[in-house]
């Protein structure tokens, strides 16, 4: 069996240098994402709707579990909300939310 050159993955060194972000650009993008995640978290935690209380509680736990990393806290929170919501109706209030370590939070 022969391997066509086009079927082989490109080696990192063979990429066009203009397509690669510099370290400074990468850091700026990370700071931008971190800032956006922090603003989203602030907005969610500022929501006072009683029906969103459990979601706020979980998000607060994720923020505490990932100090200085709001983007990671937000990703973990969204993944937990998706897992809890399930495919039926998107409601997560009746479900038991996991704690910061993934175990039962109740």
Residue bearing the bigger pLDDT, 6 or 48: 48
Distance CA 45, CA 30 (A): 22
Whether the predicted pLDDT of 94 surpasses 70: no
Distance CA 58, CA 67 (A): 14
pTM as predicted:
0.56
Q: How confident is the model at residue 85 (pLDDT cuts 50, 70, 90)?
A: confident
Phi, psi of 104 (to 5 degrees): -55, 135
| Residue 86 pLDDT | 72
* pLDDT tens sequence across 12-47: 555 555 555 566 676 677 788 999 999 999 999 999
Q: How confident is the model at residue 106 (pLDDT cuts 50, 70, 90)?
A: very low
- Write out the two tokens for 92: 């997560």
Residue bearing the bigger pLDDT, 97 or 48: 48
* pLDDT tens sequence across 46-83: 999 999 999 999 999 999 999 999 999 999 999 998 88
The angle formed by the CA atoms of residues 93, 40 and 81, to the nearest 5 degrees, is 30
Q: Where are the domains of the chain?
A: 23-85
């Amino acid at each position: 069996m022969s391997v066509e050159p086009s079927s082989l993955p490109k080696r990192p060194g063979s990429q066009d240098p203009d397509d690669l972000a510099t370290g400074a650009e990468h850091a700026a993008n990370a700071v931008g994402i971190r800032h956006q995640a922090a603003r989203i978290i602030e907005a969610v935690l500022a929501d006072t709707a009683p029906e969103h209380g459990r979601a706020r509680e979980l998000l607060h736990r994720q923020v505490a579990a990932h100090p200085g990393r709001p983007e990671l806290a937000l990703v973990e929170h969204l993944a937990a909300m998706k897992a809890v919501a399930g495919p039926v109706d998107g409601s997560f209030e009746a479900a038991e939310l996991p704690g910061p370590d993934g175990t039962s939070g109740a």
